Amino acid sequence: MERTACRRCLRPANLCICSAIRPIPTRTHVWILQHPGERRHPFGTAIIVQLALTNSRFDVVWDTEQEKFGDAAFPPGTALLFPGPTASDLSTMPTEKRPHTLVVLDGTWWGAKKLFNKNPALQRLPRVTLPLGVSPGHKLRREPAAGYLSTIEAVYASLKFLEPYTPNLDVLMAAYDRLCDGHLAERKSRHSSRYVDRSSHRTRRPPLDAETARRTVVLYGEVAPDKTGRKERALTSLAMMRLCDGALFHAFLQCPPDTLNEWHKGRMGLTDALLATAQSPEQVRTALRKWLGPDAYVTAWSQSTLDAAAPLLPAPPTTSLKTYYCNWRHRHAGDLSVVVEEEKLTVPTLEIPGRAAERLGMAVAVTTLLATPTDGGRPPEALVEFSNAEMKAPPQS
Ligand SMILES: [Zn+2]
């Protein structure tokens, strides 16, 4: 069935968010450069920024048009919102140093990084960044520390620091909430109608049965950046949680010197002191096998993490959570954080260092969802107990 779209916000007519968008005149000129891959993203938020901010500009950066965005394109006082060791923290920036034009890259994390790597003029711009874990007043859907803020959240947070007294900035977040709510409601109705259609021959059992869920250990691993072009990538850290009792295992793995630069460490939320505790793969393998026991069922969000961890595990890697999730929901899934947001999951707080705490917590939340019956039943008892609990690491032996 053909659906009409609103010509202004480009959303399906029944999900139009135009009534939530009001013009916001800002001092800062916001210039969004979009990765072409983001163009048809149904959940793109750059459009709201463009519609709401009267002092903004929007361009798609096609590969053939790179010269349009050379040094001359950016006026004096332009800064790029992009993390890096030289980036200035927007929350502590003196008024006189604040940029007049803020360039924001719109895309997935990798899309934005590609855009940055391909454009020397972008690399030459002074950089600004949002502080880690600091919320600018409005409750963001995700924390800046996760590195996966949507474009509109990043623009909103930046403007809150750059010009906190500009009226109506919260309109951005109100329109974004409307976008998210409409998207979720539509997805829900689409799924329920699909389940009704096929209910006679579709099993409603969750993809993880209770017995498997009780044996499940959820894994999150940080992988070293690949400098050698090797296909297999080495783990630098490993965090796991056993579902039946909430026990945690965490270890850093030794990697060649200079594998991780300051940017990587910042992104993973790790310090040199933490990395100094790294053990050899053999040591970690021995400790891990002892901790796991003989019949653990190890899973992780992505298959690539399971593959990277395979040499440390006692049994061959199992199915990834992403595969379970996609088969169950009958659709493609993007980043773990997006799934957590769309399914409105509660992420447990885990006491392990770095961003692994949040990422493992997200994977645990998705595992709990996958073990919860869809016909209104309750998840296995063991899962209920810690799905909302604060997890503590066992004492170090
Ligand atoms: Zn509209």
C-beta atoms surrounding 260 within 10 Å: 20
Comparing 296 with 395, the larger pLDDT belongs to 296
Q: How far is Cα 240 from Cα 249, in angstroms, rounded to an integer?
A: 5
**Taking a C-beta distance cutoff of 8 angstroms, is the pair 391, 241 a contact?**
yes
Q: Calculate how far, in angstroms, residue 14's C-alpha sits from the geometric centre of ligand 1.
A: 9
Q: Calculate how far, in angstroms, residue 50's C-alpha sits from the geometric centre of ligand 1.
A: 13
Task: Extract the tokens encoding 237.
Answer: 């850290």
Alpha helices in 149-240 (DSSP H): 151-162, 170-198, 210-215
Q: Calculate how far, in angstroms, residue 18's C-alpha sits from the geometric centre of ligand 1.
A: 4
- Kindly report which listed range (127-141, 200-214, 295-309, 354-368) carries the lowest average pLDDT score: 200-214
Q: Calculate how far, in angstroms, residue 182's C-alpha sits from the geometric centre of ligand 1.
A: 12
Q: Calculate how far, in angstroms, residue 43's C-alpha sits from the geometric centre of ligand 1.
A: 14
Q: Calculate how far, in angstroms, residue 15's C-alpha sits from the geometric centre of ligand 1.
A: 8
How much of the chain exceeds pLDDT 90, in percent? 26
What does 322-377 look like in DSSP terms, one character per residue?
Answer: HHHHHHHHTS----HHHHHHHTTPPPPPB--STTHHHHHHHHHHHHHHHTS-TTS-
- Residues with Cβ within 8 Å of residue 362, at least 6 apart in sequence: 301, 336, 337, 340, 345, 347
Is residue 5 pLDDT above 50, yes or no? yes
Report the pLDDT value the prediction gives residue 43, as an integer from 0 to 100.
64
Per-residue pLDDT tens digits for 261-300 = 787 788 888 888 888 888 998 999 999 989 988 788 899 9
Q: Mean pLDDT, to the nearest integer, of 139-168?
A: 76
Q: Mean pLDDT, to the nearest integer, of 355-381?
A: 75
Q: Calculate how far, in angstroms, residue 177's C-alpha sits from the geometric centre of ligand 1.
A: 14
Comparing 254 with 37, the larger pLDDT belongs to 254
Q: Calculate how far, in angstroms, residue 4's C-alpha sits from the geometric centre of ligand 1.
A: 11
Q: Calculate how far, in angstroms, residue 174's C-alpha sits from the geometric centre of ligand 1.
A: 14
- Kindly report which listed range (123-137, 201-215, 226-240) carries the lowest average pLDDT score: 201-215
Report the pLDDT value the prediction gives residue 379, as an integer from 0 to 100.
46
Q: Calculate how far, in angstroms, residue 209's C-alpha sits from the geometric centre of ligand 1.
A: 43
Helix-helix angle 356-370:321-329, to 10 degrees: 40
Q: How are strands ordered across the β-sheet holding 235-242?
A: 248-252, 235-242, 216-223, 297-300
Q: CA dist 356 to 219, 241, 260, 266, 317, Å?
A: 10, 11, 16, 12, 20
Q: Which domains does the chain have, with CATH numbers?
A: 13-132+147-176 (no CATH), 210-387 (3.30.420.10)
Q: Calculate how far, in angstroms, residue 49's C-alpha sits from the geometric centre of ligand 1.
A: 13
Report the pLDDT value the prediction gives residue 325, as an integer from 0 to 100.
83
Report the pLDDT value the prediction gives residue 78, as an integer from 0 to 100.
97
Helix-helix angle 170-198:151-162, to 10 degrees: 160
Token pair 């993203």 is found at 41
Task: Extract the tokens encoding 136.
Answer: 């600018």
Q: Mean pLDDT, to the nearest integer, of 306-310?
A: 85
Per-residue pLDDT tens digits for 318-351 = 778 888 888 777 777 878 988 888 888 888 888 8
CA atoms within 13 A on the CB side of 284: 24
DSSP state, residue 136:
-
Q: Calculate how far, in angstroms, residue 45's C-alpha sits from the geometric centre of ligand 1.
A: 13
Q: Calculate how far, in angstroms, residue 180's C-alpha sits from the geometric centre of ligand 1.
A: 14
Per-residue pLDDT tens digits for 162-219 = 999 999 998 998 888 888 887 777 767 765 554 443 333 344 455 677 777 778 899 9
- Kindly report which listed range (147-151, 273-277, 309-313) carries the lowest average pLDDT score: 147-151
Q: Calculate how far, in angstroms, residue 20's C-alpha sits from the geometric centre of ligand 1.
A: 9
Q: Mean pLDDT, to the nearest integer, of 78-89?
A: 91
Report the pLDDT value the prediction gives residue 100, as an integer from 0 to 100.
96
C-beta atoms surrounding 147 within 10 Å: 16
Torsion, Cα of 145, 159, 40, 35 (10° steps): -70
Q: Calculate how far, in angstroms, residue 12's C-alpha sits from the geometric centre of ligand 1.
A: 8
Q: Calculate how far, in angstroms, residue 81's C-alpha sits from the geometric centre of ligand 1.
A: 28
Q: Band of the pLDDT at 148, cuts 50, 70, 90?
A: low
Task: Give the three-state DSSP class for 241.
Answer: strand
